[in-house]
Amino acid sequence: MSEWRYWLNEQRGTLMGLAIFLLMFAVYIANHPAGLTANVAQTAANKGVLFAFVAMAQTLVVITAGIDLSVGMIFILTNCLASWIVVGEPLPTALGVVAVLAAGMVCGAINGLLVIYGRLQPIVATIATGAVYFGLALLLRPFPGGSVNEDLADALTGRLFGVIPSSLVALAAAVLLVWLPFRRSRLGRAAYAAGSSEQAAFMSGVPIRRGKFAAYTLAGLLAAMGGLFLTFFTYTGEAAYASGSGYTLWSIAAVVLGGVSLYGGRGSAVGAIFGAFAARTTGDMLFVFDVDPLWQPLLQGVVLMIAVSIGSLALLRVRNRLDWFQ
């Protein structure tokens, strides 16, 4: 095999996520009354970026063969927190942003500690912590309200040079500053190794615990970035339970669409971003086709099912049935 085929093999999941997104986005744009204008792109980007941050967070945990059912609640909690403290003059605003991100990391770190040192199953541990985080959000914002530094919010949800949605630039920065260094670091390698085969990783002297802890903590950080953007987007904080649960569940769909294996050890947050945008587009699609709101949840489910099926088409070509289970 030549070099590029190895590369293709490594990136297959991500490229599949990209292909699914492009396909769905093309259908969406082709049927949009306005077509691909800067405005349409900006709105799509802003909505997609919220999802993308949460999906990236989910990816980090899923890579370790875990699952984080609290990502949506960290997202909501940091939104509520930001609506109190990301306000005022530039300096207090900056401190507020740092505090919100730190709060997300603490939430992620608590998940990590429970799973790694408390030896709880990730699914149960994060259901519990998710409820706690939502409880805290509710205490912070019993009723929707609060505000945010609108200059900052407008800058980050607007457009750069009149065309590029600045939220996409922020997302790209998160990929460059958080995801890529993690993936290329020893801890990131340890997270992948632990997810692929924890026993082999232990035998090989890999720092499994630190790798997993880093993954959970950074997941909290990325979810908090999503929470910040939600605040910038809505100018307010709201402890919305349904929204938090929805983001959690759809983040799992997004990582699968993006080629991340739920068994751990395989996949990339970049793929999950494409998956998130694809998942987001399923919702938008129903608007351009002017579907009766009553039918929307059902049809959204059907579209998602089709999208996930495209990703697993490869299984139909399998000639050794044992490969199905790998």
Partner 1 sequence: MTTAEIQATSPLFRMEGVSKRYGGVRALENAKLDVEAGHIHAILGENGAGKSTLIKIMAGVVAADEGRMLLDGHDVTFRSPAAASAAGIACVFQELSLIPDLSVADNIAIANPPRRFGLIDRRAQRAIAAEALARAGADDIHPRAAVKDLPLSRRQMVEIAKALASKPRILILDEATSALTAGDVAKVFAVLKRLRSEGLALLYISHRMHEIAELADTCTVFRNGRNVASFRAGTRSDSEVVEMMIGREYSNVFPPKPQRAAIAKPPRLECRNLGWGDRLRDISLSVAEGEVVGLGGLDGQGQRDLLLALFGVLRGTTGSVLIDGAPMTIASPAAARASRSAMALIPEDRKTEGLMLPMTVRENLSFAALDHVSRGGIIDRSAEEQLIDEMVRLLAIKTAGLDIPVGALSGGNQQKVVIAKWLMRNPRIVLLNDPTRGIDVGTKQEMYQLLRRLADAGAAILFYSTDYDELIGCCDRVLVLYDGRIVRELEGRGITEHALIASALNVEGGDREGTAA
Interface residues toward partner 1, by CB under 8 A: 1, 3, 6-7, 9-10, 181, 184-186, 189, 192-193, 195-197, 199-207, 261, 265-266, 318-322, 326
Residue 68, classed as helix, strand or coil, is coil
Among the listed residues 42, 273, 274, 270, the one whose alpha carbon sits nearest the alpha carbon of residue 160: 42
For residue 318, the minimal CB distance to partner 1 (Å) is: 7
Whose Cβ is closer to partner 1: residue 47's or residue 189's? 189
Return d(Cα 53, Cα 222) in angstroms, integer. 6
Q: Which pair of structure tokens corresponds to residue 84?
A: 């109190």
Task: Pinpoint the alpha helices (H) of 117-240.
Answer: 122-140, 150-157, 166-174, 180-184, 186-196, 198-203, 208-234
Report, in Å, the least distance between residue 179 CB and partner 1.
12
Least distance in angstroms from the C-beta of 98 to partner 1:
22
Dihedral over Cα of 99, 136, 109, 170: its sign: negative
Closest CA to 95 of 50, 145, 149: 149
What angle, 0 to 180 degrees and rounded to 10, lies between the N-to-C axes of helices 241-257 and 296-311? 30
Which residue number, 192 or 274, has a Cβ lying nearer to partner 1? 192
| Shortest reach from residue 207's CB to partner 1, in Å | 8
- Beta strands 159-160 and 164-165 are antiparallel
CB nearer to partner 1: pick between 50 and 65: 65
DSSP 208-221: HHHHHHHHHHHHHH
Nearer to partner 1, 31 or 204 (CB): 204
Residue type present at position 28: Y
- Read off the tokens for 149: 């530094």
- Closest approach of Cβ 283 to partner 1, in Å? 32
Least distance from partner 1 to the Cβ atom of residue 268, Å: 12
Q: Considering the complex, what minimum distance in angstroms separates the CB of residue 204 from partner 1?
A: 5
Beta bridge partner(s), residue 160? 164
Query: Using CB atoms within 10 A of its CB, is residue 52 exposed (0-12), middle (13-18) or buried (19+)?
Result: buried
- Residue nearer to partner 1 on the CB measure, 32 or 210: 210
What contacts 139, CB < 8 A, 6 or more positions away?
none
Judged by beta carbon, residue 128 or residue 198, the one nearer partner 1 is 198
Q: Which is nearer to partner 1, 3 or 89 (CB)?
A: 3
